[in-house]
Amino acid sequence: MIFTTRHLYDLEKRLADINNEENIYSLTSSDTPNLLINGNPVWETETPFNEVIQEYEKLEISDDSIYVIVGLELGYMLHFFYDNCPGKIVLYEPSLENIKYTFKRVVLMNELKDSRIHLATTMDELNNVFEKIMDTRHKIYLSANKYYQNKYINDIKIIHEKISSYQLPPYQKGESLKLNIGPGCWVYKNWRTMDCYRSADFEIDLRNFEKFDIEDNCIEKAFSSHCFEHITDDDIQKVFNELYRTMKKGGIFRFSCPDAEKAINAYKNNDVQWFNWVKQAPIHEMLLNVFVSYEKFAGGPKASKEELDNKLNTLSLDNFLNWCVSLKDTTRPCIAHTNGIYFEKMERMLKKAGFTNIIKSEFMKSKDEELRDSHFDKYPEISLYVECEK
């Protein structure tokens, strides 16, 4: 059986590698067969669909909901949820034997080829699925019949805890919070997000805002990764000012951006490999592309190498970066990067906002234990890491 969806690309090989099965699988002879594992029925009655409907009736049905099913059995629950639940569906089945037995007897290809369906066979795969599709606004439901509740009792406890970490209650004005600025669909336990997407806890366009909808002295930690290079100096200063207003005394703020000084040094050293994350072009154009970029992989503005070298050798760093940004084509449908970030510039702006203990940090070297977690710092080769306190 050939699987063509991206989330099933290696499943066929893994199933083919199963030789010595540990369990005995069989079917009852009823019109709606029940799966027997070592002689034990997976469903309690001879009418599995009635039990599936009972599980379904516990749910609130909406496009924004996510339905987590534990246990494949013969696919009855997956098939019914696929037909009746418009949201995303996650199927967790760690038994490759069960999957192989069922796939030989039941046609589930419509379900498994649908982009709404995500199949996980390990807890690591399940965590990866959750990180890709979940945010704090989703309602998440976990369904498992009694057989699988007993069979996978420890896994279900872990899944419950994972789901709970995504189920933050609506923000109450004045409550203490941890805030990630500009993370896209990023989700992490007990953290709220601020971005221009509807899925964010605080929906805001940092290129066009007056103030955060957060009260004074509420934020205990703030973080941002590769966001500020997308906005102007004036808007960065407004973000810093608002963060200072809304952070608690002693609160910590950590952020990273592409490091302009690293980029310039790579250019001077003709280190083409350093620029492997931008559209490939002559190295002087790739340097410009670090500070100004258009829609994905469309590159950035153009200038001759001679002109760029002249500006780089005769202007201050601030004025060179301002010249680079001045080359952007404002008629483009999308302008992504529009700034050059380096430590001394950020230090000046943070001091102006009122922050203290401003340091140039390193990858995963935060003074805060939680901020050293792998969910935070990214891209060590190209990034500047800054940390400060209120």
Q: Spell out a b/e string for 347-385, using b for 16 or more CB atoms within 10 Å of the CB, else e.
A: bebbeebebeebeebeeeebeeebbeeebbbeeeebbbb
What are 260's two structure tokens?
């302009």
CATH 3.40.50.150, applies to 177-259+341-389: yes
Name the residue ranges covered by the structural domains of the chain: 6-166, 177-259+341-389, 260-338
Q: What is the pLDDT of residue 8?
A: 62
- Quote the DSSP letter at residue 337: E
Read off the pTM: 0.69
- Can you tell me whether residue 152 is helix, strand or coil? coil
Spatial CA neighbour of 296 closest among 340, 333, 258, 260: 333
Question: Rounded to an integer, what is the distance from CA 377 to the centroid of its chain?
Answer: 13
Beta-strand relationship, 66-70 and 140-143: parallel
CATH number of 6-166: 3.40.50
Asked, colleague to colleague, whether 6-166 and 177-259+341-389 share their fold, the answer is: yes
Instruction: Describe the chain by its helix, strand, coil percentages, rounded to 5.
Output: 35, 20, 40
Q: What is the pLDDT of residue 2?
A: 38
Walking along the chain (390 residues) 10 residues at a time, the average pLDDT comes out as 52 77 86 90 88 87 87 93 91 92 84 85 90 73 92 93 77 89 82 84 92 95 97 97 97 98 98 95 96 88 96 97 96 92 98 98 97 94 98
CA distance 243 to 264: 30
* Helix boundaries (H) for the chain: 11-16, 48-56, 76-84, 96-105, 109-113, 123-133, 146-151, 153-166, 233-246, 260-268, 283-291, 305-314, 317-326, 343-353
Q: What is the pLDDT of residue 313?
A: 97
Residues 6+ away with beta carbon under 8 Å from 85: 56, 59, 61, 65, 67
Q: What is the pLDDT of residue 340?
A: 97
Q: What is the pLDDT of residue 135?
A: 64
Q: What is the pLDDT of residue 103?
A: 87
Q: What is the pLDDT of residue 265?
A: 98
